[in-house]
Amino acid sequence: MKVAVIGAGISGLYAGHILTELGYDVSLFEASNRIGGRIATQTIHERLFLEMGAAEIHGNRSVIFEMLKHLDQKLEPIAGNEYVWYDQKLTDIDEAERLPDTLQKLLDYFYSIEEEEYDGSILDSLKEKGIYHPNLKFIIRGMLSEYSAHVEKVHASTLGEEEWRWSSGDKNYFSWGKYSAAVTYFEQKLKDKIQLNTPIVDVNYEGDQVSILTQKGETLPFDKVIVSVSLGVLKEKKINFTPALPAEKQKAIEDIGFGKGRKLFIEFSEAFWEGDLVEIIGGKKCPSYLVRPSNPKHIVAYLMGEASKELDQLEDDELAEVLLNDLQEIFPHVEVMSMYVSHHGKDWTKDPFIKGTYSYSTKGTLEGRENLRHPISNKVFFIGEACRTNGHSATVHGAMETAEELANNYFPDLKSV
């Protein structure tokens, strides 16, 4: 049985691997000149690599945690302290007695977000609970950075419900090795089955078979087709479906949120920040700066949602200058500029084959994810992070779980038949 997988990100690769093992004749079509999608390790030189996309392993009860361990990677919990930049001071988030009440209430709100039941946006919920204050704007942006979402667009009780469903463990891990090791593993297994630089522009499922059309004009018939492209690509209708997708699937694609964002790694000649610092929340230009032991002389600007929109016209060089000034304000006692070495960035919103960062919770998202993952006539299947319904969306392991779910539910083992 011939199966096409559109997209060779982690969900497409994992699906391709599982189905090949089960005895299917699999072909993968990848639009860009590389595989991995939103896993994008950039090697700067032999000892320096930067994770432009996924960098963390969220929890130790997940398929990616097991896989990287199996690949002999050294994984460690991200240990250290988060600081808030508020009232012109950098304060350790755990030193509650030094934080104003309003700010502490805001942090507590996000710490227990899985209990949130408000039917409206996070902004409206904060206002209704008397927690919102304009002075907290940059902290709120920072707290929402991990969701890559706008405070007015994230739906409070849906986010709460998705957080409540989360089950892969509360600790975040980083690897001393490359995240892309997982991608390389699948590449070796699937080498002769992957076609790079081959965007698929049409999926026709009118007849008994499904035919896909490449951008170069080649029509290829398959028994089943698996669509693993990002929600951003689906939202922008980069792939045409004939007949048009069922109404509930179109609605799902419109309803589920998909974030905007970019990352900029800024390298310094030495680390001038506190040794225990892992995150600064509340920068005026970038609401979330990250520091990781694997890149000890870098500060990573994690520019997501609203913050990224404000700066989206800037090229990386201009952005670096803005952020260096932002950091100078946060660290007034050091000459930040004189310690600057280089920067490397990636704007995911501008990536023509991703069109954003990852999915987030809006009002219709729970129903939307269910409808998105539902196959059409047992012929066209959808996988990828945005299809995950157990709270693991927007992650690598969530994307991989959709490939496992697909195989378990719809692709019997041909070898045992």
Ligand X SMILES: Cc1cc2nc3c(=O)[nH]c(=O)nc-3n(C[C@H](O)[C@H](O)[C@H](O)COP(=O)(O)OP(=O)(O)OC[C@H]3O[C@@H](n4cnc5c(N)ncnc54)[C@H](O)[C@@H]3O)c2cc1C
The span of 6-14, 81-89, 317-325, 406-414 binding ligand X (CB under 6 A) equals: 6-14
What residues numbered 147-186 form the site for ligand X, per CB under 6 A?
Answer: none
The one-letter amino acid code at 406 reads L
Interacting residues of 416 by C-beta distance below 8 A, sequence separation 6+:
none
Of 8, 144, 159, 330, which one interacts with ligand X (CB under 6 A)? 8
Tell the smallest beta-carbon distance from residue 302 to ligand X (Å): 7
| Residues 392 and 55 sit within 8 Å (Cβ to Cβ) | no
Q: Is 55 in the site for ligand X (CB under 6 A)?
A: yes
Give the whole-angstrom CA distance, residue 303 versus residue 349.
11
Structure tokens at 37: 């999608």
The span of 31-39, 65-73, 132-140, 289-297 binding ligand X (CB under 6 A) equals: 31-39
Tell the smallest beta-carbon distance from residue 309 to ligand X (Å): 15
Of the pair 55, 277, the CB lying nearest ligand X is at 55
Name which of 201, 236, 246 is nearest 220 in CA terms.
201
Tell the smallest beta-carbon distance from residue 277 to ligand X (Å): 18
Of 83, 273, 289, 348, which one interacts with ligand X (CB under 6 A)? 348
Of the pair 125, 402, the CB lying nearest ligand X is at 402
Interacting residues of 123 by C-beta distance below 8 A, sequence separation 6+:
132, 140, 151, 152
Tell the smallest beta-carbon distance from residue 128 to ligand X (Å): 31
H helices of 85-215, in order, are 101-111, 122-128, 137-144, 156-165, 181-190
Q: Is 239 in the site for ligand X (CB under 6 A)?
A: yes
Q: Is 263 in the site for ligand X (CB under 6 A)?
A: yes
Q: Is 73 in the site for ligand X (CB under 6 A)?
A: no
Structure tokens at 108: 């507590």
Q: Is 305 in the site for ligand X (CB under 6 A)?
A: no
The span of 53-61, 99-107, 133-141, 216-224 binding ligand X (CB under 6 A) equals: 53-61
Helix (H) / strand (E) element for 44: namely strand 41-45
| Residues 400 and 12 sit within 8 Å (Cβ to Cβ) | no
Q: Is 229 in the site for ligand X (CB under 6 A)?
A: yes
Tell the smallest beta-carbon distance from residue 22 to ligand X (Å): 19
Of 4, 27, 56, 204, which one interacts with ligand X (CB under 6 A)? 56
What residues numbered 357-396 form the site for ligand X, per CB under 6 A?
Answer: 357-358, 384-385, 394-396
Helix (H) / strand (E) element for 329: namely helix 316-330
Q: Cβ-count burial of 188 within 10 angstroms (0-12 exposed, 13-18 middle, 19+ buried)? A: exposed
Of the pair 99, 233, the CB lying nearest ligand X is at 233
Tell the smallest beta-carbon distance from residue 369 to ligand X (Å): 12
| Residues 290 and 142 sit within 8 Å (Cβ to Cβ) | no
Structure tokens at 180: 């892309």
Of 4, 12, 255, 311, which one interacts with ligand X (CB under 6 A)? 12
Q: Give just the sign of the alpha carbon dihedral 13, 19, 22, 23.
A: negative
Structure tokens at 67: 């896989």
| Residues 287 and 248 sit within 8 Å (Cβ to Cβ) | no
DSSP track, 115-153: G---SSBHHHHHHHTT---GGGHHHHHHHHGGGT--TTT
Q: Is 28 in the site for ligand X (CB under 6 A)?
A: no
Of the pair 85, 179, the CB lying nearest ligand X is at 179
Tell the smallest beta-carbon distance from residue 404 to ligand X (Å): 13
Of 63, 68, 225, 233, which one interacts with ligand X (CB under 6 A)? 233
The span of 26-34, 129-137, 276-284, 312-320 binding ligand X (CB under 6 A) equals: 26-34
Structure tokens at 337: 């500029």
Q: What is the largest CA-CA distance in the chain?
A: 70
Tell the smallest beta-carbon distance from residue 282 to ligand X (Å): 20
Q: Which residues bind ligand X (CB under 6 A)?
A: 6-12, 29-32, 37-39, 53-56, 58, 199-200, 228-230, 233, 238-239, 261, 263, 348, 353-354, 357-358, 384-385, 394-396, 399
